[in-house]
Amino acid sequence: ASINHPNSVYIFGTEEVAGTPVISMELLSGGTLQDLVQKHGPMPPGKAVDAVLQIIAGLEAAQKAGILHRDIKPSNCFLDEDNTVKIGDFGLSISTAVRTEPALTADGSFLGTPAFCPPEQLRGEELNTRSDIYAVGATLFYLLTGRTPFEARNTVALIATVLEKPAPAPNSLRPDIPAGLSNVVLRCLQKIRGDRPAGYSELARAL
């Protein structure tokens, strides 16, 4: 609710209804970016980049409010009636004002979606902006190719693949993707945090 930005789902407030906690937020009728790709296939590079620049704007606003999202993926990016892209589903988000807990629950189960999570999140390490930038890169990969950067037959194999194998170049799967754009995506998907863009403004300039 502390984020007030055109590229973030607006939260009206919280209350209890018949003993059930409720968060009320704006209704977005356009579905998600995942819905869009599943219905129409991979997006043209220009439109995919435009969508991701809007995601970055929303995440930058969250960062200024001291919030790390931790769960950016196409199904958490919503479309308004005018096709504005808004980040939503802050269910795993944390405040950056205090030292954060590892991204694991008490019983050791993982929080997040492995196909879009950076290696450090899968290892339960402390996260920062570059961790969300990885997820932005994975989201852009999906918008451009219609698939995730890493695929496997089960969750255990998928996690191992994310931790160990380099991502394929998007333009190796779809030749009409410009080489420069493909390289930006690969920079976001680097295993080592320091090899990714340092912040959202740097990533936006590269895109």
Angle (CA) 91 95 99, round 5°:
125
CA distance 103 to 106: 10
Rounded CA separation 22/123 (Å) = 32
Do 137 and 129 meet the contact criterion of CB atoms below 8 Å apart? no
If you ran DSSP here, which 8-state letter would residue 19 be given? T
CB distance 195 to 151 below 8 Å? no
**Is residue 35 annotated as a catalytic residue, yes or no?**
no
What CA–CA distance (Å, rounded) separates 6 from 61?
Answer: 10
Distances (CA, A) of 162 to 10, 131, 179: 32, 13, 23
Q: Which long-range contacts (CB under 8 A, 24 or more apart) does 100-107 make?
A: 100/68, 100/126, 100/127, 102/126, 103/70, 103/127
Query: Active-site residue among 71, 80, 82, 132?
Result: 71
Catalytic residues: 71
